[in-house]
């Protein structure tokens, strides 16, 4: 078991190292200006090896957010009030300035988000990540049509809140200025979700 654990750790380290190298090159020269072969060479691996880890060039960037794909599903598993569990988690993320909430002015985070949202191929690929996150959440909520509709609304709310925070900070507003509005917006958005979803998801309407 220890050997398997070591092998898995080495694999994850490889994912992280190659992704970090790729993102650095993309930030320096632009996503479209850097080839997969150049990333592989910089990482000291072959192109076929790189593709075994990352099926598409875009995955080199999206690896950084891949661990959030099933986060919502994990949070609601067994929760008596799924919407409130997600609300509290999002607010906690705002308090700690988690990049996934968009409320971060760290230069590397801003540069990464600019790369992500400013590259059409990455935006398109990111929607696949959102779809998988939505599907996982829907399964955790029960998997039926009501669950799929609820998951779609929840994922959309979290995405739009985070993008609004990033947009304001990228435009030059300070985190301290944006944070109070971000908290109020999140509270309003989740309250509206709760009011409009069936009671089984923590909503107020049946």
CA atoms within 13 A on the CB side of 6: 3
| Stated pTM of the model | 0.84
DSSP code for 57: T
pLDDT, tens digit, 9 for 90 and up, residues 11-65? 888 899 999 999 999 999 999 999 999 999 999 999 999 999 999 999 999 998 8
Please compute the mean of the pLDDT values over residues 146-167 and round it to a whole number.
95
SS (H, E, C) 43-79: HCCCHHHHHHHCCCCCHHHHHHHHCCCCHHHHHHCCC
**pLDDT for the residue 205:** 39
Percent of the chain with pLDDT over 70: 96
Supply the pLDDT for residue 69.
Answer: 87
Would you say residue 98 has pLDDT above 90?
A: yes
Q: What is the maximum alpha-carbon separation in the chain?
A: 57
């Amino acid at each position: 078991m220890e050997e398997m654990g070591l092998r898995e750790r080495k694999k994850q380290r490889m994912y992280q190292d190659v992704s970090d190298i790729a993102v650095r090159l993309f930030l320096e020269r632009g996503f479209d200006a850097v080839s997969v072969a150049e990333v592989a060479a910089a990482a000291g691996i072959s192109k076929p090896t790189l593709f075994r880890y990352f099926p598409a060039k875009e995955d080199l960037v999206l690896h950084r957010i891949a661990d959030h794909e099933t986060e919502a599903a994990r949070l609601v598993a067994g929760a008596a009030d799924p919407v409130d569990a997600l609300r509290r988690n999002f607010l906690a993320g705002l308090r700690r300035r988690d990049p996934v909430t968009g409320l971060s002015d760290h230069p590397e985070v801003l540069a990464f988000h600019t790369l992500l949202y400013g590259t059409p191929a990455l935006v398109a690929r990111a929607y696949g990540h959102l779809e998988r996150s939505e599907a996982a959440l829907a399964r955790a909520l029960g998997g039926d049509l009501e669950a799929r509709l609820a998951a779609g609304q929840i994922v959309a709310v979290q995405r739009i809140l985070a993008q609004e925070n990033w947009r304001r900070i990228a435009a030059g507003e300070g985190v301290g200025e944006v944070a109070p509005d971000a908290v109020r917006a999140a509270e309003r958005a989740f309250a509206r979700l709760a009011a409009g979803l069936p009671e089984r998801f923590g909503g107020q309407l049946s």
